[in-house]
Amino acid sequence: MIFSTTIFVFLFLPLFLLGYYALPFRYRSGWILFASWVFYGWWRVDFLGLMVAATVWTYLLGGCITRHRMSHPRRARLALALGVVLNLGILAYFKYFNFGVETLNSLLQLLGFAQLDIWRVILPIGISFYVFQATSYLVDIYRADAPAAASYVELAAYISLFPQLIAGPILRYKDLAQQFRGRSHTFDRFSQGAYRFMIGFCRKVLIADSVAAIADAVFALPQPGFVGAWLGALAYTVQLYFDFTGYSDMAIGLGLMMGFRFMENFNYPYISRSITEFWRRWHISLSTWLRDYLYIPLGGNRRGRRRTYLNIMLVMLLGGLWHGAAWTFVIWGCWHGVILVLERLLNARSAERRRWPHPTQRPPRLQSVTAIARTMLLVIIGWVVFRAPDFSTALAMYRGMIGLGGAGLIDPLAWQLSRFSLTTLALGAVIVYVEPYLGQLQDRLPLVLHKPVGLARAGVFALFALAIIKLQAEAFSPFLYFQF
């Protein structure tokens, strides 16, 4: 089940909220758990069993860590190691088994040997997210950064919490432990959540799904032209942003409707002035998870310059693999890793230049615009290989983007582009660069204009209704991050 379906909006969510607010607080975690299992099992009940099993051993091993962390630290370390191995083991098997077999078969074919005929593994949706949450729970209680769960129900409700179960944000138990044991339920918070949910729904259905047709058409071409290739790359850049921020908005909104406050997952990443800044703004829950549970334990920047660069590359490589079991994701991770290392190398020189400005240095505002444009170019180049199903598709796109596929649109693409999708693409691009400054703009408006601006927010209800109508008229469109 996904958020952008009528069965969720008009059946599952109302029934869940009715039961949730009808029950006393002490039973609400159990109701969350039951609803989350229904939500996940709606797709496949057998994979629900996998998540339940992962929760069981995480709970038992977490209890072992809590009992022995002070008295028998070796036992606590063994329990932590076993939990991490089990959790990452199921992720490795379900997500990377097919990738490993395909890579091995390619190598065997290259060497002239017979290929292996082995079963294929189906990837359970959301496994990357709930495995990371289960793993961070064990690490946090071992570090004494979080209390152990009061019960299996509480831990299972945290791991399977349906608003963020499928595509994040990646939540940490230490941020939610106190909220599970006591949280505020007010009409104002519920209203904020409903508004945030509608915003996310509109971002997904009205913008992301509308520009998806352009990206799909371009990436399906054997050799797009210059205009077509850039149009497709820009369309996917807008699609991915509004698709993922839409899901995050809906997840955060649903959390507010239940009294929870989840961390923000995006902070206007497309206005970043460097790739380093981009990763502080894009998928924040994943970036901070990789920093706290991988980069820092590897030594971070505390073991010399070369080790720092190695750690950055390793984290970005694993971050690419986390997104998908394909060499295209490895290349994407390496692309960002190399840029992050180069930016760190140039950082000292840039600081020196800022200390001693050159007489011909460009004005700060022009510098910012140039830096944003440069960063976006690097991001878009990376998104091409991220979106491409294979290297040949990515190379065809890159050839088109540098003009080797012709200058204009080709006929097979031109007839697939609708005026509505192109207009939506332009509107999405405008929103990306206007939205970060709307709050500042409203604060500067005269008091007399605050009420009309507030009334304009009522238009969200109309847009939400329009999104529902559009959803009914079109085919099913899952969130992009379901596959990651």
For 209-259, write each residue's pLDDT tens digit.
Answer: 999 999 999 999 888 888 889 999 999 999 999 999 999 999 999 999 999
Residues 97 and 137 reside in one and the same domain: yes
Residue range 290-308: mean pLDDT, rounded = 88
Q: What is the mean pLDDT of residues 25-35?
A: 94
Contact in structure between 267 and 287 (CB atoms under 8 Å): no
Q: Assess whether pLDDT exceeds 50 at residue 360.
A: no
Question: Is 290 in contact with 281 (CB distance < 8 Å)?
Answer: no
Residues 47 and 128 in one domain: yes
pLDDT value of residue 285:
92
Using an 8 Å Cβ cutoff, are 479 and 243 in contact?
yes
Residues 201 and 140 both lie in one domain: no
Active site residue ranges: 323
CA distances from 189 to 171, 172, 178 (A): 20, 21, 17
Does residue 162 lie in a domain region?
yes
Of 139, 154, 182, the residue that ends a domain is 182
For 213-222, b/e burial (b = at least 16 CB within 10 A) is: bbbebbbebe
- Picking from 136, 65, 127, the residue whose alpha carbon sits closest to that of residue 290 is 136
Say if 1 falls within a structural domain.
no
Whole-structure pTM value: 0.89
The residue among 182, 214, 230 that closes a domain is: 182
pLDDT score for 118: 84
Same domain, 160 and 235: no
| Residue 231 shares a structural domain with residue 140 | no
Based on the domain organization, do 56 and 81 belong to the same domain?
yes
Q: What is the pLDDT of residue 113?
A: 83
Last residue of a domain, one of 129, 156, 182: 182
Q: What pLDDT, on the 0 to 100 scale, is given for residue 455?
A: 61
Q: Is residue 73's pLDDT more than 80? A: yes
Say what the pLDDT of residue 452 is: 55
Domain that holds residue 240: 193-483
Are 104 and 145 part of one and the same domain?
yes
Instruction: Please return the burial class of 285, using the count of CB atoms within 10 Å of its CB with bins 0-12, 13-18 and 19+.
Output: buried
The 10s digit of each residue's pLDDT in 414-466 is 666 788 888 999 999 999 999 888 766 655 656 555 555 556 667 788 888 88
The answer to the question of residue 130 being in a domain is yes
Provide the number of structural domains found in the chain: 2
Based on the domain organization, do 92 and 225 belong to the same domain?
no
- Specify the residue for token string 């091995």: 104
pLDDT band at 365 (very low <50, low <70, confident <90, very high): low
Q: How many helices (H) and strands (E) does the chain have?
A: 22, 0
Q: Averaged over 17-40, what is the pLDDT?
A: 94
- pLDDT tens digits for 117-139? 888 888 888 898 999 999 999 99
CA distance linking residue 207 with residue 258, whole number of Å: 27
> Could you tell me if residue 96 is inside a domain?
yes
Rounded to an integer, what distance in angstroms lies between the CA atom of residue 35 and that of residue 29?
10
More confident residue, 142 or 474: 142
Same domain, 385 and 473: yes
Q: Are residues 243 and 94 in the same domain?
A: no
187 falls within a domain: no
> Do 272 and 408 reside in the same domain of the chain?
yes
